[in-house]
Amino acid sequence: MSDMRLVLGGARSGKTTRGLAIAAAFPPCTYIATAEARDDEMRDRIARHRAERGAGWATIEEPLDLRGAIARAANGRAILVDCLTLWISNLLEVGRSPEDEAAAVAAYAATLPVTTVFISNEVGLGIVPDNALSRAFRDAQGRVNQIVAAKADQIELVVAGQPLRIK
């Protein structure tokens, strides 16, 4: 039986920590990282995330083919995808549709007999961005979150490290 979850929150809200706690209850776990280490600051962030999750986690680094990465990870009991926000940015950078990709990923993940936890930023609560690229990203993020939420069995919003159950 599928157990698909979406954990939303702002930057540094505690959403990854919450996702780790959920997935860790269903070992063995696989962490799917969508970030790419393009600079020193991102390399440091990636190192902190690795240390935070500790030993015992398999890791798949995949900036674009999220469905394929999930398929490779589906032999365990839990998958943590961190995060949809960077994945969307990666897709936009190469000219692919985040919405189309998200629909395929969510439909696939909803069929798996594992716990799949998607981490994503909630970016639509602030002011309207002042440029077209930022507005396009914000809009794609909102639509992807809606697509994944529609298939999710559970949704949580994390604020200041505290989860609030939405669905």
Q: Are strands 154-159 and 3-9 parallel, antiparallel or unpaired?
A: parallel
Contact 137, 124 (CB under 8 A): no
The three-state secondary structure class of 36 is coil
117 touches 23 (CB < 8 A): yes
| Sign, CA torsion 65/68/72/76 | positive
Strand partners, 32: 60, 81
Catalytic residue status for 91: no
| Location of structure tokens 């943590």 | 80
Do 105 and 67 meet the contact criterion of CB atoms below 8 Å apart? yes
The catalytically annotated residue of 17, 46, 49, 64 is: 49
Catalytic sites, residue numbers: 49
